Structure 1
Amino acid sequence: MATIAFQGKPVHTSGELPAVGSKAPDFSLVSGKLMEVSLATYAGKRKVLHIVPSLDTPTCAISTRKFNHKAANLPNTVVLAISADLPFAQCRFCESEGLKNVIPLSTFRSGFAVDYGVKLVDSILAGLMARAVVILDENDTVIYSQLVDELAHEPDYESALAILKDKS
């Protein structure tokens, strides 16, 4: 269990993020076409798991836009925007924002939040996910992880993207 903050008050997660150097847990997430996707769907690619509570909040929307822009030119890399939003809402958000470089995926029908240790277990946001970034190499090994300490804060884009540039 990890402790972060929401508006300055402690909030707890269901576990810990996968450790750097470990093999990432497989997942089953739902795409905008209501298809199940897993790590194998993106085999051979580097994966940025941009984990957010909901794309329908200001900080989540901002960070998704920024990852869309900043990761656009990274070779052999996909950015997966993972939230508890329904796939229809995720697609609508990405279409209305013109986001072409992130792939929205829903935890709808999924144990992802628990498997990755990001499920919020208390506060008014219990059941949603903490904000985090987990980056996997082409072999699904974790090469970077950040659990954002305050839910209302954005992730550290520069550190995350530096890992990807170093590995290019």
Structure 2
Amino acid sequence: MVKVTFHQDPVTLVGNEVKVGDNAPDFNVLTNDLGIKSLADYQGKIKLISVVPSIDTGVCSIQTNRFNEEAKELENVSVITVSMDLPFAQKRWREVNNVEDLELLSDHRDADFGEKYGVLIKELRLLARSIFVIDSNDKVTYVEYVHEVSEHPDYDKALEEAEKAE
């Protein structure tokens, strides 16, 4: 069981832990124009899913901008950021930060992604910072649940794993 803290206080994660080798759980999230996206929309592509609690906070903003920059260099990899922010807030943030090379998706409506990937923080209704790499056959090849939500993930390891995935 994954143990996560938020400003050093333990939090409860809802859902099941996703592990390397698992079939990636399907999910439904919202696009910035309120459309619906699911895992099936990325069929045949490698997926690097960066999960952040709120796009308007420092570490989350840095994380999303970093993966946006790196996305330009990745071939056949869909880079996705998921948060609980409203789609309208994500769209505004995206425009202000000139983010063009990754998708920013909202789990706000149903918390479907959060529950299926075991990253929904019960006490806060936010998502725990995490990274998932899923290969073109929808097998999970890399997982990082960041133990302290306010800390950065291992960017280099996630990118290395995305590049290795087939």
Please report the TM-score for the alignment, with normalisation by the length of structure 1: 0.93
CA distance in 2, matches of 1:138, 1:167: 8
Tell me which residue corresponds to 1:56: 56
Q: Which amino acid aligns with 2:72?
A: A
Residue 15 of structure 1 and its aligned partner are, at CA, apart by 3.7
2:144 is matched with which residue: 122, 130, 146? 146
Q: Which amino acid aligns with 1:121?
A: K
Tell me which residue corresponds to 1:134: 132
1:3 aligns with 2:26: no
* Counterpart contact for 2:141–2:165, Cα < 8 Å: no
RMSD, aligned CA: 1.3
- Aligned pairs for 1:93-132 (under 5 A) are 93-110=93-110, 111-122=112-123, 126-132=124-130
1:8-58 per-residue CA deviation (whole Å, 9 max, x = no partner) reads 222221144311011011001100121111111111111111111110111
List gaps (5 residues or longer) in structure 1.
none
Q: Which amino acid aligns with 1:113?
A: G
Aligned length: 165
Question: Which moves more between the two structures, 103-112 or 74-83?
Answer: 103-112
1:62-82 per-residue CA deviation (whole Å, 9 max, x = no partner) reads 100011112321100111110
Residue 166 of structure 1 and its aligned partner are, at CA, apart by 2.4
Q: Say which SS state the counterpart of residue 10 (structure 2) adopts.
A: strand
Q: Say which SS state the counterpart of residue 23 (structure 1) adopts.
A: coil
- Aligned pairs for 1:63-78 (under 5 A) are 63-78=63-78
Residue 167 of structure 1 and its aligned partner are, at CA, apart by 3.3
1:103-136 per-residue CA deviation (whole Å, 9 max, x = no partner) reads 01001323221111101123xxx21110000110
CA distance in 1, matches of 2:41, 2:101: 16
Q: Which amino acid aligns with 1:132?
A: S
Q: Which amino acid aligns with 2:147?
A: D
* Counterpart contact for 1:134–1:142, Cα < 8 Å: yes
Q: Find runs of 4+ consecutive structure 1 residues off by over 4 angstroms.
A: none
Q: Which amino acid aligns with 2:88?
A: F
Q: Say which SS state the counterpart of residue 21 (structure 2) adopts.
A: coil
CA distance in 1, matches of 2:36, 2:151: 30
1:165 aligns with 2:163: yes
CA distance in 1, matches of 2:101, 2:14: 30
Among the aligned pairs, what percent are the same residue? 39
CA distance in 2, matches of 1:89, 1:107: 13
* Counterpart contact for 1:134–1:145, Cα < 8 Å: yes
- Aligned pairs for 1:40-55 (under 5 A) are 40-55=40-55
Please report the TM-score for the alignment, with normalisation by the length of structure 2: 0.94
